[in-house]
Amino acid sequence: MPNAIHGLSASDPRTWYRTQQKAIGTITPSGNIVVERMTNAILADFPTVSGHFSRIEVVGSTDTYKDDYDWDGMMRAATLLSHAEPDVICWNGSKGGSIGIGSDRRLCEKITAGTGRPATTSSLAILEAFKAIGAQNFGLVTPYADAYAGRIPPHFQDEGFTCVARADSGLTDNLSYSRVPDADIAAMVRGAAASRPDAIILYCTNFPGAHLVAALEAETGIPIYDSVSVCVWKCLRLIGIDTTPGRRWGSLFTDRRLA
Close Cβ partners of 1 (under 8 Å, ≥ 6 residues apart): none
Is the CB of residue 102 less than 8 Å from the CB of residue 127?
Answer: no
| Domain 13-258 fold | Rossmann fold (3.40.50)
Residue ranges of E strands in 145-230:
162-171, 199-202, 224-226
Mean pLDDT to the nearest integer, 59-72: 82
Structure confidence by residue, pLDDT tens digits, 15-47: 666 677 899 999 999 999 999 999 999 999 999
Sequence length of the chain is: 259
Mean pLDDT to the nearest integer, 4-18: 60
Helix, strand, coil percentages in the chain from 3-state DSSP, rounded to 5: 45, 20, 35
Look at the alpha carbons of 229, 234, 239, 243 in this order and tell me if their dihedral is positive or negative.
positive
Q: What is the DSSP letter of 24?
A: E
Q: Please give the torsion angle defined by the CA atoms of residues 45, 46, 50 and 56, in that order, rounded to the nearest 10 degrees.
A: -60
pLDDT reading at 6 higher than 80: no
- Stretch among 27-36, 62-71, 203-212, 237-246 having the lowest mean pLDDT: 62-71
Structure confidence by residue, pLDDT tens digits, 173-223: 999 999 999 999 999 999 999 999 999 999 999 999 999 999 999 999 999
pLDDT reading at 12 higher than 80: no
Higher pLDDT pick, 136 / 21 = 136
pLDDT of residue 160: 98
- Name the nearest CA neighbour of 101 among 193, 241, 203: 203
Domain boundaries, the chain: 13-258
Interatomic CA distance for residues 37 and 210, integer angstroms: 11
Interatomic CA distance for residues 82 and 163, integer angstroms: 36
pLDDT of residue 19: 77
Confidence of residue 1 (pLDDT cuts 50, 70, 90): very low
pLDDT of residue 33: 96
Q: How far is CA 162 from the centre of its chain?
A: 20
- Stretch among 3-7, 16-20, 168-172 having the lowest mean pLDDT: 3-7
- Name the nearest CA neighbour of 85 among 45, 120, 129, 115: 115
228-251 in b/e form (b: 16+ CB < 10 A) is bbbbbbbbbbbbebebebbeebbb
Taking CA atoms, 103 is separated from 58, 109, 112, 155, 231, in Å, by 17, 10, 14, 11, 16
Q: What is the DSSP letter of 62?
A: B
